[in-house]
Amino acid sequence: MKMSGQMNSKIRIRICSSGDEAALALIGQATFLEAFAGVLEGQNILTHCANAHSVECYRSWLADSRYQLWLAEISPGHAPIGYMTVAPSPFLLPDSSSRDLELKRIYIFSKFQGRGLGKRLLQEAIAESRARMAERLLLGVYEHNDAAIGFYTRMGFRKVGTRKFNMGGLECDDYVMGLTVFASESIHSENIL
């Protein structure tokens, strides 16, 4: 089925609030499955999604002031097509700071990638990090996810470490990437505009 109006559609990004947990869980599960189907074991993906992308998980994050979540929606109809979370950093790095934040999740359906939506979401995350006076924005990315690593590198992130990530019982290797967001007024501004 061809979607004739897709190019004329408008995408909005909005901050999530209580009541968005079901939409976040659905888009979280769907985008994670889309990103890793054929790359990682299906049962591990499903187990991970059932736990890490549950309605209860998103409900708890929405109730926690340390978390900020955004939903990308397409019009007409306001169907969710992507989302992002900024959260306290769990990374234990040699230079970890209590002022580090984590770009916990940023996923967009592949048919909407390449339109600048990832960059728009990342700009929201950087603005939120600066508003919180965060020192760095850190993220974990699967070491074989070349497309995501390339995107983050183009946006000014650099590899700062590694971690093990349990994905539904399967231990995966992630790169930890970081972007300094509040060391000075001009840090990486050329990379995010």
Alpha helical stretches, state H, 53-188: 55-62, 117-131, 146-154
Round to whole Å and give the CA distance between 71 and 12.
8
b/e sequence 81-90, b meaning 16+ C-beta within 10 Å = bbbbbbbebe
The full set of domain ranges for the chain reads 6-192
The CATH class, in words, for 6-192 is alpha beta
Give me 6's structure tokens. Answer: 């897709």
Q: Are 111 and 30 in contact (CB under 8 A)?
A: no
Q: Identify the CA nearest to 86 among candidates 100, 107, 67.
A: 67
Q: How many other CB atoms sit within 10 Å of the CB of residue 16? A: 21
Distance CA 88, CA 6 (A): 36
Cα pseudo-dihedral 91, 181, 86, 32, rounded to 10: -80
- Parallel, antiparallel or unpaired: strands 100-108 and 136-142: parallel
List, for the chain, all residue ranges whose pLDDT scores fall below the cut of 70.
1-8, 183-193
Give 3: exposed, middle or buried? Use CB within 10 Å, 0-12, 13-18, 19+: exposed
